[in-house]
Amino acid sequence: MKKVFIVASLMFFALFQTQAQVSFKPGLRGGANFSHFTKGNDNYYDFDSNPVSDNYNTLTNFYIGFYGALKLTKYYTLQPEIDYSSQGSNYNSIELNVDYLSIGVINKFTFSDKFNIHLGPTIDFVVSENFDTDSDVDMAFVLGAGYNFTPNFGIEARVKKGIIPVFDSFYDNHTNVVFSLGATYTFDLK
């Protein structure tokens, strides 16, 4: 009976210690988006049998949002995020704009209290566009890195790749690719 009590006490103490390390801090994030649609295979011929290729080039825009950093261990933080992300592509000198409300669950792995790696899924809902998108929702995966100058202020760079076609042309469909570069500010709550 003593052994059971000792083991139960140790387990309770270990659970209490683990819970004592958990912290939650809200924050803001924002910066620049450099986005384009995937190129696809839009090679076709005009009426004179000359090859024509559609060009989907980078469009510069912005993102802004907030997050909740749930630090579970010294090295791991679960970070739910809600962002407004303005994306799109330049198509043969025409801007194709599509704006999303993005909900993400980012897994953040921290090394040396300054450098961190981000990875996780997002689901993006179209809130406005200047062309007919093929879907009102996009699912994407994020991979990125960040650097914290102070416990409150940091910078981050991410790549987000959509998996649902946002635009169908006559010959192919195209998905979102976004490179983001921005800053973060985490609030200290006591």
Domain membership of residue 15 (yes or no) is no
For 81-128, write each residue's pLDDT tens digit: 999 999 999 987 889 999 999 999 999 999 888 999 999 999 999 999
Say which CATH number the domain at 82 has: 2.40.160.20
Distance separating alpha carbons of residues 171 and 73, to the nearest angstrom: 49
Domain membership of residue 8 (yes or no) is no
Distance separating alpha carbons of residues 81 and 69, to the nearest angstrom: 9
Strand 56-57 to 51-53 pairing: unpaired
**Total structural domains within the chain:** 1
Domain membership of residue 45 (yes or no) is yes
Residue 103: CA count within 13 A, CB half-sphere: 5
pLDDT on residue 103: 98
Contact indicator for 64, 83 with CB cutoff of 8 Å: yes
Give how far Cα 138 sits from Cα of 75, 79, 102, 167, 172, Å.
30, 20, 9, 11, 17
| pLDDT beyond 60 at 28 | yes
Distance separating alpha carbons of residues 114 and 154, to the nearest angstrom: 9
- Residue 31: exposure state from Cβ atoms within 10 A (0-12, 13-18, ≥19): middle
Give, as one character, the DSSP assignment of residue 2. Answer: H
Domain membership of residue 110 (yes or no) is yes
For 165-190, write each residue's pLDDT tens digit: 987 766 678 899 999 999 999 998 76
Domain span including residue 154: 23-186
Residue 13: CA count within 13 A, CB half-sphere: 6
pLDDT on residue 147: 98
Closest by CA to 73, choosing from 18, 140, 1, is: 18
pLDDT on residue 40: 59
> Which helix or strand (DSSP H or E) is residue 189 part of?
none
3 state SS for 95-119? EEEEEEEEEEEEEEEEECCCEEEEE
Domain membership of residue 17 (yes or no) is no
pLDDT on residue 33: 98
Contact indicator for 67, 27 with CB cutoff of 8 Å: yes
Structure pTM? Answer: 0.80
For 37-75, write each residue's pLDDT tens digit: 987 555 555 566 665 566 788 999 999 999 999 999 999
For 150-164, write each residue's pLDDT tens digit: 999 999 999 999 999
Domain membership of residue 12 (yes or no) is no
Domain membership of residue 99 (yes or no) is yes
Radius of gyration of the CA atoms of the chain, in A: 22
Domain membership of residue 114 (yes or no) is yes
Q: Which residue has the higher pLDDT, 137 or 171?
A: 137
Helix ranges (DSSP H) in 43-134: none
